[in-house]
Amino acid sequence: MRLNKYLATAQVASRRKCDEIIKEGRVKVNGKTVTELGVTVNEKKDKVSLDGVQLSLPSSFVYLKLNKPKGYACTNSDEKGRKTIFDLVDCDERIFSIGRLDYDTEGLIILTNDGDYANKVAHPRYHLEKEYKVAVKGQIKESELAVMRNGVVVKGERMPSCKIKFLSYENDVTKLSVTIDEGQNRQIRRMFEAIGKEITLLKRVRIGSVRLGGLKRGEWRDMTQDEISALVGGK
């Protein structure tokens, strides 16, 4: 295994960032500092350390999908003492989420202990679409949807364009499907705030070709091999 992949899989950073770390002389293999790129290691025998701390790879890789409920934080330990998504999952491995959903957003989130895989999924080159179901108070004009499709301007900055599909309007609530391929902080909420609309429900239902499926709120399951591979074009 190439050393940068070993570091990425051990949840250090992306492979590109790991290359920088190697060149900085912060990595040792079997006690010897390595600064050259392209070095390979035997992940079963060699001892790899970063800044004097020995690293290790997971004993087995885990890939899960979870239907995150509203009112859960996407962090291993919340400083405010709130419930976290890891309270919902029974897993012996040390896992983390690929990306986040904010506290009041629900829906699909992927959990793993494979750092290299997570960095691939999060890499901008894949342009993975993320589809959300959105419920908004009041009625929305087609002209307002057009503004968001083209990218609304928030504090002088134009936000990324998106796909928006009207689903229904009933009981003074508009339901929409919104698809983005960038993950700016609170992007969808900020888009609707910019046109003066209040979101009452925000739920992610798809990442790439992986869908939430029949998972109920708070439920999780192992991803299939097809789902795992689909997000990075084969694994």
Which residues form the catalytic set? 102
Q: Under the phi-then-psi rule, with left for phi > 0, alpha for psi from -120 to 50, and beta for the rest, what region is 176?
A: beta
Alpha carbons 161 and 57: distance in angstroms, whole number: 39
CB distance 93 to 42 below 8 Å? no
Taking the C-alpha atoms of residue 14 and residue 98, their distance in angstroms, rounded to an integer, is 13
Any bridge partners for residue 174, and if so which?
136, 169
Enter the tokens of residue 2: 């190439």
Q: From the CB of residue 103, how many other CB atoms can be counted at a distance below 10 Å?
A: 16
Q: Would you say 114 and 58 are in contact if contact means Cβ atoms under 8 Å apart?
A: yes
Residue 208 CB neighbours (<10 A): 19
Strands (E), the chain: 27-29, 32-34, 48-50, 53-54, 63-68, 96-97, 106-112, 130-137, 153-154, 157-158, 163-170, 173-180, 199-207, 210-211, 220-222
